[in-house]
Structure 1
């Protein structure tokens, strides 16, 4: 069972939030707390992340099955990036569990970019020598703006370890940037919410999206990139609330 954080709220339909690669449930704490004003919200640590168990596999069918174990009734689901792919597979394989689906800045396609650079950077940190997060950040080296601070949220300073199963994430990277062969459709309401400055959801992916999610709607948040919920949290919350209302 995945580690979960629950935010109590009114209403009968809960909202489940699945984070992206290298993320965690607590990355979504502020957004989850605000959204819980109108509904119960549950955030999860995906497998091989945060406080959840480590496994040798990091496939999307396995991650979707993990999410299914958390759900006890039909639930609205948000998934960002890796979590968005897992949420899509969940909706396609277990549509009775998903009420409405929000896919944040990802499409049901394979990508060519790898995320091995952050893994190499984290492996390169001499955790025994770091006294604080600033020391670790200096050792992470030259990463894209904001990436180092994001990765450091998964550093357990007390136990001098990463809360990420780096070996398995590296070994399974092809699966993470890919998308499994799936059949069927999810006919429920679905929103593909993208960052206006992001190139993760291209127009040529729309036929595949519509094939799998015939009720799909599309929206963009101007000025946001791939990390749209972190860059434009208020706009993200407004878009989610409007869709769920």
Structure 2
């Protein structure tokens, strides 16, 4: 059984479960979770192969979604379920699969800048993870050194910082905490979406897109509504793919409006 790590922020109000994107970790939603207190409490999950959660031998959306569903049952009492579920990018696909397979656990669903697309583009992540894999950690003495070495292939300081949060000291030197080799090798699967037959999630769904991102378009709305018929699409002006970190106030406002103040 895959062991999943999570962190609870807040102890009052309805529970929101947050699922991060590729090479992220639950704490990426800390600012959002604290902004939602005390009306909501938040469970920040490290997905398998990320953060403090277990690594797996293969990448499979159904296995991951089922593992997260099991963790929700273990971590959240009966009287706090069903929960609201928020997923970004990779975590958004996990959230969609989880909601379709375990609808009894989920009240409202928020999907951030990703769709149920098969064969979706992962080109930017191929470049990013290739750059990390090419970094010789035996020659890197600190995260500062790694940042300098990655400056040419990854010139955006914010993206380097996001990735380098995953570089951890060990007794043998620096190492990547996520399962870099598996995630890099599985990009085709990560960019895909599993066939779940005629599954449908008939609860309210907020689909959040970044205006400057190309991961979501209105042309994808019929496909989204085939699985999630009560979907509302919201585009956040000025935001790219990482909507919650680029426009946190707008993101929190959208969540509160959609979920409703308890």
Bin for the TM-score computed over the shorter chain: over 0.9
CA distance in 2, matches of 1:152, 1:67: 25
Are 1:174 and 2:188 counterparts?
yes
- 2:169 aligns with 157
Cross-structure match for 1:109: 117
1:25 equivalent in structure 2: 26
Contact 1:59-1:172 within 8 A present in 2 as well: no
SS at match of 1:193: strand
The residue that corresponds to 2:78 in the other structure is: none
Instruction: Tell me by how many angstroms 1:171 deviates.
Output: 2.1
TM-score norm. by structure 1 comes to 0.95
Q: Is 1:139 paired with 2:149?
A: yes
Asked if structure 1 preserves the Cα contact closer than 8 Å seen for 2:130 and 2:184, the reply is no
CA distance in 1 between counterparts of 2:202 and 2:66 reads: 19
Shift of 1:191: 0.3
- Between 58-67 and 124-133, the greater mean CA deviation after superposition: 124-133
Query: 1:217 aligned to 232, 235, 238, which one?
Result: 232
Q: Does 1:208 align with 2:223?
A: yes
Alpha-carbon offset, residue 96 of structure 1: 0.5
Distance, in Å, in 1 between the alignment partners of 2:168 and 2:86 is: 26
So what's the TM-score if we normalise by structure 2?
Answer: 0.89
Q: Does 1:120 align with 2:130?
A: yes
Cα-Cα RMSD: 1.4
CA distance in 1, matches of 2:155, 2:93: 23
User: Distance in 2 between the 1:16 and 1:36 partners?
Assistant: 14
The runs of 5 or more residues in structure 1 that have no matched partner are none
1:132-163 deviation per Cα after TM superposition (whole angstroms, max 9, x unaligned): 22210122232252321110011113551111
- Equivalent residue for 1:74? 82
Partner residue in 1 for 2:77: none
CA distance in 1, matches of 2:237, 2:34: 24
Q: Quote how far apart the aligned CAs of 1:229 are.
A: 0.6
**Does the 8 A contact of 2:122 with 2:188 survive in 1?**
no
Name the count of aligned residue pairs: 244
Q: Deviations over 1:100-119 (max 9, x none)?
A: 00000111113133322222
The answer as to whether partners of 1:20 and 1:82 remain within 8 angstroms in 2 is yes
Mark the CA change 1:74 to 1:144 in structure 2 (over 3 Å): closer, same or farther.
Answer: farther
Q: Give 5+ residue unaligned stretches, structure 2.
A: 74-80
Residues of 1 paired with 2:188 and 2:128: CA distance?
Answer: 15
